[in-house]
Amino acid sequence: MPRQVDFYVKDDGTAPIEELLDELPNKWQVKVLAAIDNLKEAGVDLPFPFSSQVRGRLRELRTRFGKTRLRVFYFGDPRRVFILLHGIVKATEQLPESDIRIAEQRMAAHIQRLQRR
């Protein structure tokens, strides 16, 4: 059964992953959307190298196009919905700490919103 996957939405109403997808070449968009579909189908059972833990509850969807690495940070929220937080395009294997912090801040903001409801 497919799992629910949602985009994180900032206070201004924009969704960072939608913005990333809009900026990517079509061939790269297809790769990222396929990774998201894999997450919908496999959920927490999505294995490495398609998904890996970053830190704590924060995980990354992993795909590549040639030597370019495409990453989407996500986590499973308390409602058991996967929230896509932040995406990057990079040339090296290492994840930039600044991008990890952005994803963690968005994860915390999302959890706070749920608690206020």
Distances (CA, A) of 36 to 11, 26, 56: 23, 15, 20
Tell me if 69 sits within 8 A of 90, measured CB to CB. Answer: yes
* Contacts (Cβ under 8 Å, ≥6 apart) of 113: none
pTM value surpassing 0.85: yes
Residue-level pLDDT at 93: 87
Report the C-alpha dihedral over residues 31, 34, 36, 40, rounded to 10 degrees: -170
CB distance 50 to 72 below 8 Å: no
pLDDT number for residue 1: 76
Q: In a structure prediction context, what are the per-residue pLDDT tens digits for the chain, which is 117 residues long?
A: 789 999 999 999 999 999 999 999 999 999 999 999 999 999 999 999 999 999 999 999 999 999 999 999 999 998 999 999 999 999 998 999 999 999 999 999 999 999 988
Q: What is the pLDDT of residue 35?
A: 97
What count of Cα atoms within 13 Å lies in the side-chain half-sphere of residue 11? 5
What's the mean per-residue pLDDT of the chain? 95
100 vs 93: CA distance, rounded Å: 14
